[in-house]
C-alpha cells in the first residue's frame, strides 16, 4: 500500500491548479485571442476575425524587421558563446591552480539579474563610459555604441555573450568530466597537442552536451527582451527591435492583444521547430 487516494489528490492539487490556471488555460486562451481583435481598454470582449492577425503580421515590415533582428542575434551569439565556453571548460579541466575560483567567477554573471547587467553595460557603453575612455586613451574616436544603428545590436550581443558564457562553461565541464581519463592519456601518449586533443577527442565525446547547449541557448536567445527594454527600447531606427520586444510593445503599449498573441504564437512555433530540428540532429548524433 502506498497511502490513500485522498492524500495523493491533496499532494498533487496545488500543482494541478497552478498548471491549469497559469500554463494550460493561457496556452489555449492565447490561441483563441490570436484569432480575435482585442483591446482591453475599450471594454469590448474579443471579436473573432479569423487568421487576419497572422496575415497582418506577415504583411507588416516591423514584424519582419523584428524576426531579422532576432535571427541575427541568435545566429551571431550562439557560435561565439559555444566555442568560447567549450575552450574555457577545456582549460579548466587542466590541473590549474584556483580552478574553483575561476569556475565560480565565470558563473557570477549568470546569477545576477539581467537588468543589473544591462544597466552596468549601458553605463560602460555610454559616450562618457569606460569603453570610450579606453578608446580615447588608445587614440581612437569615441563611438556612441547604443545610439548608432550599426553598433547597437552588436554591442548588446557582445554583452549577452559575456553574461552567458559562464553558465555553458559549467555545463560543458560536467560533460567533459564524465569522460574517462584514459581517453585523454592515450591521446597524449600518441603526441596529440592540447588544441588537437580537445577538438578531435573531447568535442566528439561531448556532442550530446554540445547540441543540448545549442538548443537551450537558442530557446533563450529567441526570447531576448530585458537587454532591449533596458538599453535601447528597440531603437535606434528599429535596429534592436527583437520579436519579443515588438510583441511586448504591441501588447502592453498599443494594447493590440489579439495581434500580439498571434505574434507570440508565431514565435512559439519558430522556437518549437528550431528545438525539434536540433533534437532530431541530437538523436542522430547519438546513433553514429
Partner 1 sequence: MAGPGVSLKTTGFILLLLFLLSTVFPFYWMFVASVREEGSIISNPGDLFPSEITFRNYVDCLKSGPFGRYIVNSVWVAVWVVLGNVILATMAGYAIARKRFMGKRIVLATVLGTLMIPKQITMIPVYILMSKLRMIDTYSALILPFLVDAFSVFFISQYVNSLPEELEEAARVDGASDYGIFFRVVFPLLKPALGIVAINSFLVNWNSFIYPLILTNSENMRTLPVGLALYSQGEHAVDWGHLMAGSTISALPVFLVFLAFQRQIIAGMIEGYGR
**19 to 38, contacts with partner 1 by CB under 8 A?**
19, 21-23, 25-27, 29-30, 33
Classified as helix, coil or strand, 47 is strand
48 beta partners: 36
Please report whether residue 47 would count as binding partner 1 according to CB under 8 A. Answer: no
Site string for partner 1, 171-190 (x = CB under 8 A): x--x----------------
The rounded distance, in Å, linking the Cα atoms of 222 and 101 is 31
CB of 211 to partner 1, least distance (A): 13
Contact positions with partner 1 (CB under 8 A) in 59-78? none
CB of 194 to partner 1, least distance (A): 6
Please report whether residue 18 would count as binding partner 1 according to CB under 8 A. Answer: yes
User: Please, which residues have CB within 8 angstroms of residue 217's CB and are 6 or more apart in sequence?
Assistant: 77, 78, 81, 82, 164, 168
Please report whether residue 42 would count as binding partner 1 according to CB under 8 A. Answer: no
Contact positions with partner 1 (CB under 8 A) in 234-263? 244, 247-248, 251-252, 257, 260-261
Cα of 205 vs its chain's centroid, Å:
25
CB of 286 to partner 1, least distance (A): 18
Find the helix or strand (DSSP H, E) in which 48 lies.
Answer: strand 47-48
Please report whether residue 54 would count as binding partner 1 according to CB under 8 A. Answer: no
For every residue of 239-278, DSSP letters joined together read TT--HHHHHHHHHHTS--HHHHHHHHHHHHHHHHHHHHHH
Binder among 56, 78, 129, 201 for partner 1 (CB under 8 A): 129
- Reading the block at residue 123, the C-alpha cell is 553605463
Q: Is the peptide bond before 236 cis (omega within 30 degrees of 0)?
A: yes
Site string for partner 1, 187-206 (x = CB under 8 A): -------x------------
Given the C-alpha cell 566555442, which residue does it identify? Answer: 83
Contact positions with partner 1 (CB under 8 A) in 108-127? 108-124, 126
CB of 205 to partner 1, least distance (A): 18
Amino acid at each position: 500500500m502506498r497511502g490513500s487516494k485522498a492524500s495523493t489528490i491533496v499532494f498533487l492539487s496545488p500543482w494541478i491548479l497552478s498548471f491549469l490556471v497559469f500554463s494550460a488555460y493561457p496556452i489555449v486562451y492565447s490561441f483563441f485571442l490570436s484569432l480575435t481583435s482585442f483591446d482591453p481598454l475599450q471594454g469590448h470582449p474579443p471579436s473573432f476575425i479569423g487568421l487576419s492577425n497572422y496575415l497582418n503580421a506577415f504583411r507588416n515590415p516591423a514584424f519582419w524587421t523584428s524576426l531579422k533582428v532576432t535571427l541575427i542575434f541568435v545566429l551571431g551569439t550562439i557560435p561565439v558563446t559555444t566555442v568560447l565556453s567549450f575552450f574555457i571548460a577545456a582549460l579548466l579541466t587542466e590541473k590549474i591552480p584556483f580552478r574553483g575560483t575561476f569556475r565560480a567567477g565565470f558563473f557570477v554573471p549568470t546569477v545576477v539579474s539581467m537588468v543589473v547587467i544591462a544597466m552596468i553595460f549601458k553605463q560602460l557603453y555610454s559616450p562618457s563610459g569606460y569603453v570610450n575612455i579606453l578608446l580615447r586613451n588608445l587614440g581612437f574616436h569615441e563611438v556612441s555604441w547604443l545610439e548608432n544603428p550599426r553598433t547597437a545590436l552588436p554591442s548588446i550581443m557582445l554583452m549577452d555573450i559575456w553574461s552567458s558564457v559562464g553558465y555553458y562553461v559549467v555545463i560543458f565541464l560536467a560533460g567533459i568530466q564524465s569522460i574517462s581519463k584514459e581517453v585523454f592519456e592515450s591521446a597524449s601518449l600518441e603526441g596529440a597537442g592540447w588544441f588537437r586533443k580537445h577538438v578531435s577527442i573531447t568535442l566528439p565525446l561531448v556532442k550530446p552536451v554540445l547540441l543540448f547547449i545549442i538548443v537551450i541557448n537558442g530557446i533563450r536567445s529567441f526570447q531576448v527582451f530585458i537587454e532591449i527594454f533596458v538599453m535601447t527600447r528597440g531603437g535606434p531606427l528599429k535596429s534592436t527591435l527583437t520579436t519579443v520586444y515588438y510583441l511586448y510593445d504591441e501588447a502592453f503599449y498599443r494594447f493590440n492583444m489579439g495581434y500580439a498573441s498571434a505574434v507570440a504564437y508565431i514565435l512559439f512555433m519558430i522556437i518549437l521547430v528550431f528545438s525539434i530540428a536540433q533534437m532530431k540532429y541530437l538523436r542522430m548524433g547519438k546513433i553514429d
